[in-house]
Amino acid sequence: MSNPLQTLEKAIGKTITVTLKSNQSYTGRLKITDQYMNLILENCSEMEDGKITKRYGRAFLRGNNILYIKVD
C-alpha cells in the first residue's frame, strides 16, 4: 500500500475532483500539493449536482477542508 501523499504527488498534472467537508466539489488539473495536502488546481471549476456553477483560473484548497479526492 502506498502513502496517500505519494499517490497525490503522482497525480500532479492530472485532472482531479476534490470534495470538501462542506460538500462543495471542485474539478481541475492538479498543479502542486504539499505535506499538508494543500492543493493548487488550474482550470478549476466549482461543481454542484454534476454541473459547473463557477470557473476559476487557479484555486487554492486547504488540506484540512478536504473530505476526499478522486483522480479522474
Q: What is the pLDDT of residues 38-71, one digit of tens each?
A: 999 999 999 998 899 999 999 999 999 999 999 9
Where does residue 36 fall: left (phi above 0), alpha (psi -120 to 50 degrees), or beta otherwise?
alpha
Backbone angles phi, psi at 65, to 5 degrees: -100, -5
What are the boundaries of each domain within the chain? Answer: 4-71
Q: How far apart are CA 26 and CA 55, in angstroms?
A: 9
Q: What angle do CA 37, 5, 70 make, to 5 degrees?
A: 75
- As a CATH number, domain 4-71 is 2.30.30.100
Q: What are the residue ranges of helices labelled H in 3-68?
A: 4-10
User: What digits encode the pLDDT tens for the residues 9-49?
Assistant: 999 999 999 999 999 999 999 999 999 999 999 999 999 98
What's the whole-model pTM score?
0.90
pLDDT at 1 over 90: no
